Structure 1
Amino acid sequence: MMPPLGALRVFEAAARLASFSRAADELCVTHAAVSHQIRQLEEWFGRPLFLREKRGVRLAPEAERLAEILSASFERVSAEAEALKQRTKSEITVACIPSIATRWLIPALGDFLAAHADITVKVVYAMAEQRLRETGCDVLITLGADTSDGVACERLFSRVNRPVASPRYLERKGNIDSPDEIAAADLLHDETTRHWQHWFTKAGLPPRQPLSGPVFQDFNLLATAAIAGHGVALCPVEVCRREIENGDLIVLSDLAVLEDEGYFLISKVSRQKAVSAFCAWFKAVVNPVAG
């Protein structure tokens, strides 16, 4: 007699992640639902599968072999399902954060579709620093690397941020060259003021609290405000390469923050041909010389 399959899936996730909460997030269910399924499975086996501790849960030693077998089995089922999907259709889903989608993906997507008429592409929103497994998509373009097993992760852009402003803003305010002049300008903020505080520290300027200026929840809103001439923004210069080359934005200083971060193209190592074609194409769009 087989134990409940749904409960086994929950058990495998909780065992692999060593957390009921993280398992709930991965499976898109509540913590209570995970706890209920685990209790149901423990009743079926007649023994505890997890040791409940003050700081969380730990897999019971006698349940470790079951967890290993389930993880391997689910991985085999996933691989076979993916292979069947590849044999039956050439449809890929691409999750992309808005800043890359509006500047790089969507403007060029028609070229890919024209060259690959047999491939259907669905584009959906991604959240910054999401992982491929969380999206359920074939390709993920996001901020931050994905170091999960079985994932190919390739860097597209650096996140180096430098102060930028539009020509119309500089026409109104005059040249802005020094850190002191930048600090005295109308500052625009991407989600938080801490990036500007970090920039002030690197420039040798004292911290300023509180910082004035509008805070934009989405980078596209920030970039639109900067181009419209509302002030000076810290922008990832590689992502905004075209706006800078076109003269819509002018870099005011070489002093940068967020140098160690980047934007990445992520897919499964064992990816279908359509995904490989898309990834090769998009890397060439972003970096024509390397492509």
Structure 2
Amino acid sequence: MHILLGPLKIFEAAARLGSFKAAAEELHLSPSAISHAVAKLEKELGAKLFDRDGRKLMLTLDGRVLHGPIEEAFALIRTGMQSVQSRHAQMLRLHSAPSFAAQWLTPRLQDFLSRHPGMEVQIAADTDYTRFTNDDFDADIAYGPRAQDGLVTRFLGHEKIVPLCTPDMAQSIKKPADVLNHTLIRSTLKSSSWEEWLRANHIAAPATAGMRFDRSFMAINAAADGLGICLDSTRLAERELKSGRLVEPLAGIAENADDAGHYLVFPQRNADRPAVAAFSAWLSAALDAHAVE
């Protein structure tokens, strides 16, 4: 015997509500569709499931025998679906550019979690854009703009890209050209470069040989350890600047570099997910607070 779930759901609604009309309204079907589905189920089972007592719909003995297990089964199904929905509502699966995750996001996660008790966050970080094809992630914090249909893209604000070094090294840097007297630390995946910064500050000399890292957080840490001067984001270097391990030696003197910036990206289908909406609102507020500090 092969019975589809749809007719059983129709039978359960009619039995619970005692009316084909009420079942039709609940299931957004016509009363005739409900009646036909019940008749088809009765034919399949070889049993009469309903009697009419005037306008009232009554279950037969066979109907009552069938209704009990079906009612329990649908209750279990609803419980399972609610558990899955609740799990996803409280789970944020986030992909992020590595340096943003390490330098800016992770130190602030406790604030997000304290504002959303019960929320669980899973973070994966690498430089590839997530394509959201396998539904592995709810959202992505990407470095640089995205061009992909079906995505909601929110720019996270301009970042100031400046030379950063230790306070001791800064004592010998009084004008832009002085950076050439030190090791220049490069973030190879950064959209801005030392060459562009030198041109913006009218320095014709080529950038000297230095060291290269493929992650901003590595370049920032190298500069904080006194290995040279990095050209990077004050947003990503916020902790090092606040602690005094790094300073901006040419603040108010040199021209800043342009940068691609970071973006919060997620599929349109995820816009109404509670975890995504909560994180997006928190991220905007946290960045606004950072901007006015």
Where on the TM-score scale, by shorter chain, does this alignment land: which range?
A: 0.5 to 0.7
Offset at residue 176 of structure 1 (A): 0.4
Do 2:187 and 2:213's aligned partners in 1 also have CA atoms closer than 8 Å? yes
Offset at residue 239 of structure 1 (A): 2.7
Distance in 2 (alpha carbons) for counterparts of 1:196 and 1:134: 36
Name which one, 1 or 2, has greater alpha-carbon Rg. Answer: 2
Letter in 1 for 2:203: L
Query: Does 2:280 correspond to 1:279?
Result: yes
CA shift digits 1:162-215 (9 cap, x unpaired): 111111333xxx330212211222211112798111222222222427x31111
Do 2:94 and 2:121's aligned partners in 1 also have CA atoms closer than 8 Å? yes
The unaligned stretches of length 5 or more in structure 1 are: 1-82
Offset at residue 119 of structure 1 (A): 2.5
For residue 88 of structure 2, what is the aligned residue in structure 1? 89
TM-score scaled by structure 1?
A: 0.61
For residue 178 of structure 2, what is the aligned residue in structure 1? 181
Alignment of 1:260-275 (within 5 A): 261-270=260-269, 271=271, 272-275=273-276
CA shift digits 1:213-247 (9 cap, x unpaired): 11112211110011111111101123323433443
User: Where in structure 1 do 4 or more consecutive aligned residues deviate above 6 Å?
Assistant: none
SS at match of 1:224: helix
| Closer/same/farther in 2, CA of residues 182 and 281 from structure 1, 3 Å limit | same
Offset at residue 285 of structure 1 (A): 2.2
Letter in 2 for 1:200: L
For residue 200 of structure 2, what is the aligned residue in structure 1? 202
Distance in 1 (alpha carbons) for counterparts of 2:110 and 2:235: 22
For residue 227 of structure 1, what is the aligned residue in structure 2? 224
CA shift digits 1:243-289 (9 cap, x unpaired): 33443221123322224x21111122332111101111122222227
The unaligned stretches of length 5 or more in structure 2 are: 1-81
For residue 249 of structure 1, what is the aligned residue in structure 2? 246
| Aligned-residue RMSD, C-alpha | 2.9
TM-score scaled by structure 2?
A: 0.61
Letter in 2 for 1:107: P
SS at match of 2:173: coil
Quick one: percent identity of the two aligned structures? 23
Do 1:192 and 1:215's aligned partners in 2 also have CA atoms closer than 8 Å? no
Distance in 2 (alpha carbons) for counterparts of 1:203 and 1:277: 42
Letter in 2 for 1:206: A
For residue 151 of structure 1, what is the aligned residue in structure 2? 151
Do 2:104 and 2:235's aligned partners in 1 also have CA atoms closer than 8 Å? no
